[in-house]
């Protein structure tokens, strides 16, 4: 988001302005997707964390979304009651939890709402093997009562451990149309919570407009929908937002709606470096978002673009 020195939050026509930070947790050597190495979250210094949040807030973003992997919970939960799910050493999970808490606390000090992004229905391979479930690629055989129980545990325990976490981002790419699953797991837990978490649903992989409408109508906490600004990541596009948002806006006109933008897989990843440094392109696309009813905007990047301004990076 480009702003002039005189820009104030009141000048920006988007209610929630999400900024995604790609977070890498500590993982076992040779272990799994996205190993953190020296840039794993437990190695973030307090100076780095504080300055990162200051830089984000200073650019008039007001929400921080953390993304680490499809199923970030396995990196920091204690897994009490689910010993057959824990794959990482307990000490490693404690270090990751401590780092996550420091980052969320710094975000709060800088006035940022905080979110953890994940793909719904995922669970550790160790639990799948214990239950004898088949797993292939990102698709998992998740229709199992023990998996429902596991996911309810994940959501409940996450908010118990992370007092500074405001909400979650849900992605359906690995479980298309999984409204019934979400109702049995996430929504069941959220309904029990005194302070309702903010729940934002990314719409790719979700064809069930009627099911989503019914589910969100029944949730009295903060909620929102997010759609890609463009359709795919390997084509050039004119700065015009995807038209399919109109279907969702018509179904849920009162639910907060955001478009995502930036050099991430939501649009332009493979050929995006020039696009996202062109202010004319970016601002024309933002204008198109507004014209199609967007209340909010989510800036996504596969790399941390602020590293050059951060100490201990």
The whole-number pLDDT of residue 141 equals: 58
Per-residue pLDDT of the chain (313 residues), as tens digits, is 555 555 666 678 999 999 999 999 999 886 554 555 568 999 999 999 999 999 999 999 999 999 998 999 999 999 988 888 999 999 999 999 999 999 999 999 999 999 999 999 888 888 888 888 865 544 455 778 889 999 999 999 999 999 999 999 999 988 889 999 999 999 999 999 999 999 999 998 899 999 999 999 999 999 999 998 887 666 777 888 988 888 999 999 999 999 998 887 655 555 666 777 889 988 999 999 999 999 999 998 878 889 889 999 8
**82 within 8 A of 124, measured Cβ to Cβ:** no
Residue 267 φ/ψ, nearest 5 degrees: -175, 130
* Strand partners of residue 140: 135
The whole-number pLDDT of residue 78 equals: 95
The whole-number pLDDT of residue 313 equals: 82
Q: Determine the Cα–Cα distance for residues 241 and 285; give it in Å rounded to an integer.
A: 6
3-state secondary structure at position 290: helix
* Strand partners of residue 119: 171
Q: What is the pTM of this model?
A: 0.91
The CATH number of the structural domain formed by 19-309 is 3.20.20.70
What is the sign, positive or negative, of the torsion defined by CA atoms of 112, 308, 283, 12? positive
Q: Which helix (H) or strand (E) holds 105?
A: helix 90-109
Please give the DSSP secondary-structure letter assigned to residue 245: H
């Amino acid at each position: 988001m480009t702003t002039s020195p005189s820009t104030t939050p009141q000048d920006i026509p988007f209610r929630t302005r999400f900024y995604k930070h790609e977070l890498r947790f500590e993982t076992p050597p040779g272990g799994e997707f996205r190993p953190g190495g020296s840039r794993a979250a437990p190695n973030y210094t307090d100076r780095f964390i504080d300055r990162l949040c200051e830089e984000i807030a200073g650019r008039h973003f007001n929400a921080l979304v953390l993304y680490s992997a499809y199923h970030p919970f396995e990196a920091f939960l204690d897994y009490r009651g689910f010993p057959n799910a824990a794959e990482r050493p307990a000490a490693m999970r404690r270090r990751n939890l401590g780092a996550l808490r420091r980052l969320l606390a710094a975000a709060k000090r800088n006035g940022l709402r905080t979110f953890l992004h994940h793909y719904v229905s995922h669970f550790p391979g160790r639990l799948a093997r214990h239950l004898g479930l088949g797993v292939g690629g990102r698709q998992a055989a998740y229709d199992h009562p023990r998996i429902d129980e596991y996911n309810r545990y994940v959501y409940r325990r996450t908010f118990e451990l992370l007092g500074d976490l405001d909400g979650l981002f849900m992605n359906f790419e690995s479980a298309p149309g999984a409204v019934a699953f979400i109702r049995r797991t996430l929504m069941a837990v959220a309904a029990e919570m005194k302070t309702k978490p903010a729940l934002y649903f990314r719409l790719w992989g979700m064809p069930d407009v009627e099911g989503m409408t019914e589910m969100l109508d029944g949730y009295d906490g903060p909620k929102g929908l997010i759609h890609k600004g463009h359709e795919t990541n390997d084509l050039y596009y004119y700065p015009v937002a995807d038209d399919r948002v109109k279907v969702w806006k018509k179904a849920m006109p009162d639910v907060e709606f955001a478009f995502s933008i930036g050099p991430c897989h939501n649009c332009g990843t493979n050929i995006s470096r020039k696009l996202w440094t062109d202010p004319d392109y970016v601002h024309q696309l933002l204008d198109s978002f507004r014209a199609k009813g967007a209340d909010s905007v989510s800036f996504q990047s596969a790399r941390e673009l602020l590293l050059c301004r951060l100490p201990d990076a």
